[in-house]
Amino acid sequence: MSGGVPGPLGGERRLSYHLSIDGARRAVTGARLEESLLTVLRERLDVTSVKDACEQGRCGACSVLLDGRLVTACTVLAADAADARVVTVAGLGPGGPAAAVRAAFVAHGAVQCGFCTPGLV
């Protein structure tokens, strides 16, 4: 993380850092310290495969892999994920374990509206 800048008159602090999203290094600038990874992914980086639902870490719609560990993006501070590898459902690719899960969802009619399905996979 770099570039933490105090706001005017000691106000809100803004940060600049990089995130690796699905293999691409992305710059985050002017972020607030308290922003969740979910907020930064969706609102700052336009990563819409990560869904915003309960914002309490219970539903799983915003699940991502953070350095290979499954987390709910709404419960992780984005600044804590600086320089980590973030993989969304879009970055899982056509093969691997996720492909088997996707195929099972389709074969057994487990696909619902599609809002929470990416997090479930």
40-88 pLDDT tens trace: 999 999 999 899 988 998 888 899 999 999 999 999 999 999 989 999 9
Q: What is the pTM of this model?
A: 0.77
Q: Check residue 32 and give its pLDDT.
A: 93
Read off the DSSP letter of residue 45. Answer: T
Comparing CA positions, the residue from 60, 65, 49 lying closest to residue 97 is 65
Question: Which single residue is written with the structure tokens 């399905």?
Answer: 117
Nearest Cα to Cα of residue 17 among 30, 36, 8: 30
Which CATH code, of 3.10.20.30, 3.40.190.10, 3.30.530.20, 2.30.140.10, is assigned to 2-120? 3.10.20.30
CA distance 103 to 105: 5
Take residue 56 and report the two structure tokens written for it: 């309490």
What value does the mean pLDDT take over residues 3-22?
A: 72
